Structure 1
Amino acid sequence: MSVAEPRRIVLFRHAKADWPQVSDHERPLAERGRKDAPVAGRKLADSGIAFDLALCSTAARTRETWKLAVAELPERPKTVYEERIYEASPGELIAVLNETPDDARDVVLIGHNPGVHGLAEVLTGEAEDEAARRMRRGGFPTSAFAVLTFTGPWKSLEPGTATLTDYWSPND
């Protein structure tokens, strides 16, 4: 693939988690999360994006979200479980994405707030279209995802270089 072709990044927040007496990293999905994750997976499938790579936080709730969502996709992409996504800032998430091999065109990152929402805002700058308005109005609730595009090698991804092309939330 040429680095001049547009790339897509889907920023996907984990589904609703439960609050049992375990460490934050080990929190499982709540019943609502187990229902919402496959719905989000079907919406991702409906987008027609054929993911080359999934980058998923190592937290239990993100791993469980991805397991339920990816089952709805026509093809399972290569999945890398990345510790640095857990509790990551937008800058740390950009650093992870900058390491993506250039043969990957479409990538989904399954992570946490506030990092995922912050990353969507940092990468897209002052977007004012309908998707941006919906994302700002609804925040970035559990199971929501944003689709961003940019052109260039992954190492060139930085603040303001992407365009928000779609946003979906189970609350819409």
Structure 2
Amino acid sequence: MKRLYLLRHAKSDWSNMGLVDHDRILNRRGQKAAALIGQRFKDFGREPDLVVCSTALRARETLDRLMAAGSYNWNVQNEKRLYGASPDTILSIVHQYGASCDTLMLVGHNPGMADVAKALAGDAKPGLLERLISKVPTGAMITLEFDIPSFQGVRAKSGMLTQFLRPKHELA
């Protein structure tokens, strides 16, 4: 059994329009959301063997705040290809980095994260697929499980969508 966590970065700050997109930080709502997801991650029951994070500042800050909130000390690899990645690129990253682990987390951006989750989810717990199709907001965490021996076997519709956390709903 392989498990893939897809984390979309939390809400970013647009107040400094002079910054290039890659260098935007989180706003206060994003900081709070990332910490909340970090606290809730303990409910997942299984931590990632490896985290692959976009090099964009807001993605790295999302991961840092999540890890701080849960007191996690995960193995993290920064990957510039996750910035603006297409579903095909994300899938190639899963195949590459997943070779040596059972549980993998990717921290990235939309539309790629939402699109790859939709493409990989062949089945889902009741109600989750509809929510995923509706919207993957900033700070959302998607969990997909695969009944395969290696991440090399991850293909379209091969996963089971088992969890979908959205910060706004977790705060309610």
TM-score normalised by L of structure 1: 0.90
Q: Find the partner of 1:18 among 6, 10, 13.
A: 13
Partner of 2:156: 159
Which consecutive unaligned segments of at least 5 residues does structure 2 have? none
The answer to whether the 8 A contact 1:45-1:72 is kept is no
Q: Work out whether 1:44 is the aligned partner of 2:37.
A: no
Partner of 1:3: none
Structure 2 distance, partners of 1:63, 1:80, is 10
The residue correspondences of 1:1-172 to structure 2 (distance < 5 A) are: 6-19=1-14, 20=16, 21-125=18-122, 127=124, 129-137=126-134, 139-150=135-146, 151-172=148-169
Structure 2 distance, partners of 1:52, 1:126, is 24
Report the RMSD for the aligned CA atoms in angstroms: 1.5
Deviation at 1:25, TM superposition (A): 0.5
Structure 2 distance, partners of 1:128, 1:95, is 26
The range that moved more, 127-136 or 150-159, is: 127-136
Which consecutive unaligned segments of at least 5 residues does structure 1 have? 1-5
TM-score normalised by L of structure 2: 0.90
Deviation at 1:96, TM superposition (A): 0.6
Deviation at 1:67, TM superposition (A): 0.3
- Structure 1 counterpart SS, 2:117: helix
Segments of 4+ in structure 1 off by > 4 A? none
The answer to whether the 8 A contact 1:45-1:74 is kept is no
Deviation at 1:143, TM superposition (A): 0.7
Structure 1 distance, partners of 2:73, 2:91, is 23
- Structure 1 counterpart SS, 2:46: coil
The answer to whether the 8 A contact 2:53-2:107 is kept is yes
Q: Which amino acid aligns with 1:58?
A: T
The answer to whether the 8 A contact 1:123-1:160 is kept is yes
- Structure with greater proportional helix content: 2
Deviation at 1:101, TM superposition (A): 4.4
Q: How far does the alpha carbon of each residue in 1:80-138 deviate from its partner, in whole angstroms, 9 at most, with x for none?
A: 0000000001110000110124331111110000000001001114657322122223x
**CA spacing shift, 1:34–1:167, aligned 2, 3 Å:** same
Structure 2 distance, partners of 1:84, 1:102, is 17
**CA spacing shift, 1:66–1:133, aligned 2, 3 Å:** same
